[in-house]
Amino acid sequence: MDDNDLAVRVTGLQKRYGEKRAVDGLDLAVARGEIVAVLGPNGAGKTTTVEILEGYRRRDAGDVRVLGEDPQTAGRAWRSRIGIVLQTSNDLAEATVSELVHHFARYYPAPRDPDEVIDAVGLREKARTRTRQLSGGQRRRLDVALGIVGRPELLFLDEPTTGFDPEARHAFWDLIAGLRDGGTTIVLTTHYLDEAEHLADRVAVVRSGRVVAVDTPADLGGRSARRAVVRWTEGGTHRQEQTDSPTALVTALATRIGGPSGEVPGLQVLRPTLEDVYLGLIADDGTVAGTPAPALVTTEAVR
């Protein structure tokens, strides 16, 4: 991919804290206009990596380009092109939503209209409410408003829905998807695999300071990791077979043992979930199990 098509390009990134290598030769590319979710266990290096991309932390080695510039040396004009939504924030609790968004808009050379931003994040009815009186979900929407009021080309979201109830999470997902549809590139860190699967165009899994896999949520871990397991009962015996063509196998079973109704006794089609693949990728040996464990599979009814 041409560098002009990339919002982020990282090659051989390294960061050390004493004897510990927090980031150890990490490579990552993020195309303009896509959402990339960065996943990894605590201590994997994802937070350090994102802080380097944001210009908050200096690297020890490697090449980093964010919107075409090195964050380590980029100036104020570059900073006005990015938006950052931290995991927690407690700024100006006595200010109202409207006051905060208008205040932050003055930091940027060409901000969005603050009132339009308040509408866009669904806080019109809370515009005159003090920040300390907002619910967790409303506060997170305000954080996003502050992150996008400067018209960022690239938005960093750090654990954006931690502590949300299910309804608030889904509403927030709609908001983020709308930003992407409007052309904003988004780098998202999250511990929620369903969030990554719902929002991300691609998922990057970080382990021991390196990206060990990057792909769409549906294809992460390679084709072999996504193979289906078909289980059925035949002649009183429980049987199973791993296959790339579950529909063909089920059709053959229905013909062979389904009888007049075509029903196959004990039929299940099991596919590895994103959780299966992720847990395999962050395991010590980095392998992906070929057969899903019963406790971690998605069962699909087949008719």
Q: Out of 215, 247, 264, pick the residue that ends a domain.
A: 215
Same domain, residue pair 196 and 83: yes
Q: Which of 6-15, 51-60, 117-126, 202-211 has the lowest mean pLDDT?
A: 117-126
Domain co-membership, 188 together with 248: no
pLDDT in tens, 124-138: 999 999 999 998 888
65 and 178 together in one domain: yes
CA distance 124 to 147: 17
Asked if the model's pLDDT at residue 208 lies above 70, the reply is yes
Band of pLDDT at residue 159, cut at 50, 70 and 90:
confident
If asked whether residues 245 and 179 sit together in one domain, one would say no
> pLDDT tens digits, residue range 238-266?
999 989 889 999 999 999 998 888 899 99
Confidence tier at 223 by pLDDT (50, 70, 90): low
Torsion sign across C-alpha atoms 146, 150, 151, 154: negative
**Which of 39-48, 136-145, 225-234 is the most confident on average?**
39-48
Same domain for 18 and 136, yes or no, is: yes
What CA–CA distances, in Å, run from 118 to 112, 146, 148, 154, 223?
Answer: 10, 9, 10, 19, 43
**Beta 237-243 vs 268-272: how paired, if at all?**
unpaired
Q: Kindly state whether residues 170 and 280 are assigned to the same domain.
A: no
- pLDDT above 90 covers a percentage of the chain that reads 63
pLDDT over threshold 90, residue 2: no
| pLDDT number for residue 224 | 64
Average pLDDT over residues 101-105: 95
Residues 269 and 160 in one domain: no
**Residues 79 and 200 occupy one common structural domain:** yes
Same domain, 133 and 98: yes
What is the per-residue pLDDT for 90? 67
Same domain assignment for residues 117 and 230: no
Write out the residue range of the structural domain in which residue 287 sits.
Answer: 223-300
Q: Are residues 60 and 193 in the same domain?
A: yes
CATH number of domain containing 131 = 3.40.50.300
In whole angstroms, give the CA distance from residue 170 to residue 29: 27
Q: What is the mean pLDDT of residues 106-120?
A: 92
Looking at the structure of the chain, the number of domains it has is 2
The answer, yes or no, to whether residue 59 has pLDDT greater than 90, is yes
Task: Find the mean pLDDT for residues 216-227.
Answer: 80
**Long-range contacts formed by 47-54: CB under 8 A, 24+ apart:** 47/158, 47/189, 48/15, 48/22, 48/23, 49/10, 49/13, 49/15, 49/23, 49/206, 50/156, 50/158, 50/187, 50/189, 52/13, 52/15, 52/23, 53/8, 53/10, 53/156, 53/187, 54/82, 54/84, 54/156
- Asked which of 184, 215, 246 is the last residue of a domain, the reply is 215
Residue 163: band (very low, low, confident or very high) from pLDDT cuts 50, 70, 90: confident
Instruction: Identify the top-confidence range among 2-16, 62-76, 280-294.
Output: 62-76
Model confidence at 199, pLDDT cuts 50, 70, 90, reads: very high
On the question of pLDDT at 290 being above 50, the answer is no
More confident residue, 183 or 284: 183
Could you tell me if 154 and 42 lie in one domain? yes
